[in-house]
Structure 1
Amino acid sequence: MFSREAGLYMWRSIPIDKIGWDNVEQHYKDALMNHLRENFNFDEVERDIEAKNLTGGIRAVLMKRYSDRKHDAKKLFKSKGGYNDLESARAFHPPDMPYDNWLRTIEGFREEKYIKRSNANTLVREKQQFPYRGGTSSYGSTAYKNVMFYDMGWVPTYAKTHTDNQGNWVDPVAEQNYDFVNSLFQTPSFLNQLNNYLASQGKGKGKSKDYDSDNLFDNESDDEPNDNDDDE
């Protein structure tokens, strides 16, 4: 209920024009938090999040919901004309979203920084060497969720998303890649180098989940699919 209510409030009250939740104006964040406090006990919400082995707490839930809402808005934008027919897109009024917020959201899609990031995400998907079993999400999106929300390492995530339900690899190259990287994490010299690097970056000892996700993928891409509004 908490996650769903947060998403509904965002759609009805907050422009979806920023690249990610962290960039949203503070007064919108404060209004959302006040609304949620009136309806939920935050201590109970945090305990529920921890019980589901999710990490990042309430902030991570809000980041995910904002990303979901942005994905929904982008689908509407494309279906109503998109970049090729901005007049039609602007004329559309999404249900339950203030019209001024819709216009701001469109302007967000037109920002150069956003377009470059979206194009880069598309290019990454086009260069994918072989299929993976992550549904319609990009591999980067799936990996980010598993590492940030489910505390799963990068190497186990790679294996999970490139094998079928019986544990068979979807492609021989994928298996070779996994064997190579997995062997690195069994090598003391590699771990020493990794730990030294992480220490220089102010991070803890190296595990497969300690890589900087921002160098691998856009962790708040609007191109990731919207999950159902189930409780989190």
Structure 2
Amino acid sequence: MLEAFAQNGNKPLPLELDPTHETYKFVGPNGRWFVRQITIALEKIPSHYIGWESIPREHQSTVFRNLHNYFDLESWSNTPQWPQISAGIHDDCGRRFRDRKSTLKRHFESVGGYEELEEARNNPHESISSGNWNSLIDILYLDPAYIARCNQNSSNRSKQPYANTSGSKSFAQRRYEEVQQGGTVSLIDGWRRMHTSHGTWVNDRAQNDWNTIQEELTRMQQEGGEVDEEEVLKRALGERRGWSRGVGRKVRNMPTNVSALSESQFNELKEQIRELNETVKQMQQDRNQSGNQNDDDQDE
């Protein structure tokens, strides 16, 4: 990414939006770097918060400034999609923050955990300072409410029927790469590929669900008319909150009617968008000032 940034004249890299579905995810090489850069930026802020939404605004702004420095979010800030893009960025930050916490927790357990607490204290993860590591242990890991939440999350994960085989690659990125390689996008075939490895299903449940998908596809084909693959997957697999089967996440839209969201949710989204807008403006002002300073230096 840094090489591409330098080749771009140290100017923010352009970003492409997923064109086929309203996931509001960035795709392409720069889109994948965008998500990875969130992970890198998160290493600069304390990790002892329960979730992204509880991180103070000043720390969130540190992540936003980092992203605006390397990626051209300004070009999107005046588009009709910006409210949803902004909400999507917060969603990406939340997911990456959860991933980071999982990485740190696994390290904590591998170096002693709760049974050998002092040993764990003396072996911080390589990405975190010893001071922040001990704050993470004292404020979060030793909090009874956090321990209970972790136990519940472990129970929930054990009930997940299967994982996809694409690693960190999103559904949107997979669709983008298929188009770039001259292929056509098929949500159903994409679901199959993301739940098989070298032609073998990840487990029996995935294969059974595939059979259900095929039965629903046949049923819709017999009904006549154009087949909606997203609808096929939804009917076959059921609905999942905040997620479209075979497509990816659903970003919460800013509603025209406040009643579409609770007042607290509505105000939270407005505050998130305001924060991102302020960051865009500040980055633009900084660049303008830097450009003016360079012109003055040349005149001298």
TM (norm. structure 2) is 0.45
Task: Tell me what 1:68 maps to.
Answer: 99
Partner Cα distance (1:157, 1:116) in 2: 37
Displacement of 1:175 in angstroms is 2.7
Alpha-carbon displacement from aligned partner over 1:125-179 (angstroms, at most 9, x marks no partner): 55567x76637x7xxxx89x5489979999777644443433x545555433333
- Partner-residue secondary structure (3-state), 1:82: coil
Q: Is 1:77 equivalent to 2:108 in the alignment?
A: yes
Q: 1:212 aligns with which of 238, 241, 248?
A: 241
Give the gaps of 5 or more residues in structure 2.
2-33, 177-184, 221-230, 244-248, 250-300
Change (3 A) 1:41 1:164: closer
Alpha-carbon distance between aligned partners in 2 of 1:65 and 1:186, rounded to the nearest angstrom: 38
Closer/same/farther in 2, CA of residues 15 and 157 from structure 1, 3 Å limit:
farther
Q: Which residue of 1 aligns with 2:148?
A: 116
Distance (whole Å) between structure 2 residues aligned to residue 55 and residue 81 of structure 1? 39
- What percent of counterpart residues are identical? 23
Indicate the structure (1 or 2) with the bigger Cα radius of gyration: 2
Please report the RMSD computed on the Cα atoms of aligned residues, expressed in angstroms. 4.6
Query: How far 1:89 moved relative to its partner?
Result: 2.0
The answer for the alignment partner of 1:179 in structure 2 is 211
| Structure 1 unmatched ranges of 5 or more | 189-204, 220-232
1:1-232 equivalent positions in 2, closer than 5 A: 1=1, 2-12=34-44, 14-43=45-74, 57-95=88-126, 97-106=128-137, 107-124=139-156, 126=158, 134=165, 146=171, 159-166=192-199, 168-180=200-212, 183=215, 208=234, 211-213=240-242
Number of residue equivalences: 184
Code of the aligned partner of 2:38: A
CA–CA distance in 2 between the matches of 1:91 and 1:57? 37
Shift of 1:81: 1.4
Is the alpha carbon distance of 1:73 and 1:148 closer, same or farther for their aligned partners in structure 2, counting shifts above 3 Å?
Answer: same
Answer whether contact 1:132 1:163 (CA < 8 A) is retained: no
Does structure 2 retain, via aligned residues, the 8 Å contact 1:55–1:148?
no
Residue 10 to residue 124, structure 1, CA distance change in 2 (3 Å): closer
Q: Would the alpha carbon gap of residues 64 and 170 (structure 1) be closer, same or farther in structure 2, given more than 3 Å must change?
A: closer
CA, structure 1 residues 153+58, in 2 after alignment: closer, same or farther (shift >3 Å)? farther
Contact (CA 8 Å) 1:109, 1:115: kept in 2 or not?
Answer: yes
Residue 6 of structure 2 is matched in structure 1 by none
Output the amino acid matched with 1:89: A
Relative contact order, higher structure (CA 8 A, sep 6+): 1
Shift of residue 100 of structure 1? 3.3
TM-score, scaled relative to structure 1: 0.55
CA contact (8 A) 1:7 1:65 kept: yes
Contact 2:47–2:136 at 8 Å: present in 1 too?
yes
